[in-house]
Protein backbone atom coordinates (compact mmCIF):
# COMPACT_ATOMS: atom_id res chain seq x y z
CA UNK A 1 0.00 0.00 0.00
CA UNK A 2 1.29 3.46 -0.79
CA UNK A 3 2.02 5.77 2.14
CA UNK A 4 -0.35 8.47 0.83
CA UNK A 5 -3.28 6.04 0.61
CA UNK A 6 -2.56 4.61 4.06
CA UNK A 7 -2.53 8.15 5.46
CA UNK A 8 -5.89 8.89 3.79
CA UNK A 9 -7.39 5.74 5.29
CA UNK A 10 -5.99 6.51 8.76
CA UNK A 11 -7.52 10.00 8.69
CA UNK A 12 -10.84 9.00 7.17
CA UNK A 13 -13.95 8.86 9.37
CA UNK A 14 -15.21 6.06 7.10
CA UNK A 15 -14.06 2.54 7.91
CA UNK A 16 -12.08 1.10 4.99
CA UNK A 17 -11.59 -2.65 4.61
CA UNK A 18 -7.83 -3.13 5.01
CA UNK A 19 -6.14 -6.41 5.86
CA UNK A 20 -2.80 -7.55 7.23
CA UNK A 21 -2.07 -11.29 6.92
CA UNK A 22 -5.67 -11.65 5.69
CA UNK A 23 -7.03 -10.23 8.98
CA UNK A 24 -9.09 -7.02 9.06
CA UNK A 25 -7.12 -4.22 10.72
CA UNK A 26 -7.40 -0.58 11.75
CA UNK A 27 -4.60 1.84 10.84
CA UNK A 28 -3.73 4.09 13.78
CA UNK A 29 -0.72 5.96 12.44
CA UNK A 30 1.39 6.08 9.29
CA UNK A 31 5.13 6.79 9.32
CA UNK A 32 5.79 7.88 5.73
CA UNK A 33 9.54 8.26 6.31
CA UNK A 34 9.97 4.63 7.39
CA UNK A 35 7.08 3.36 5.25
CA UNK A 36 5.44 1.67 8.24
CA UNK A 37 2.06 1.82 9.94
CA UNK A 38 0.91 1.21 13.50
CA UNK A 39 -2.11 -1.06 13.27
CA UNK A 40 -4.26 -3.38 15.32
CA UNK A 41 -6.55 -6.27 14.39
CA UNK A 42 -10.24 -5.35 14.66
CA UNK A 43 -10.82 -8.48 16.73
CA UNK A 44 -8.01 -7.66 19.17
CA UNK A 45 -7.47 -3.87 19.64
CA UNK A 46 -4.92 -4.45 22.42
CA UNK A 47 -2.54 -6.19 19.98
CA UNK A 48 -0.85 -3.17 18.34
CA UNK A 49 1.78 -3.86 15.67
CA UNK A 50 4.22 -1.80 13.63
CA UNK A 51 4.25 -3.21 10.09
CA UNK A 52 5.55 -2.36 6.64
CA UNK A 53 3.06 -0.59 4.38
CA UNK A 54 3.86 -3.26 1.76
CA UNK A 55 2.10 -5.82 3.96
CA UNK A 56 -1.24 -3.97 4.02
CA UNK A 57 -3.95 -4.68 1.45
CA UNK A 58 -7.03 -2.61 0.74
CA UNK A 59 -10.00 -4.81 -0.12
CA UNK A 60 -12.30 -3.49 -2.84
pLDDT in tens, the chain (60 residues): 999 999 999 999 999 999 999 999 999 999 999 999 999 999 999 999 999 999 999 998
- What's residue 60's pLDDT? 81
Amino acid 30: pLDDT:
97
**Angstrom distances, CA of residue 48 to CA of 39, 40, 45, 60:** 6, 5, 7, 24
Res 6: pLDDT: 97
φ/ψ (deg, to 5) at 8: -60, -45
The reported pTM is 0.90
According to DSSP, the β-strands at 56-58 and 23-31 are: unpaired
The pLDDT of residue 10 is 95
Amino acid sequence: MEAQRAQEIAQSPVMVNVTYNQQPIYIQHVDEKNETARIYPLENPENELEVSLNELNEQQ
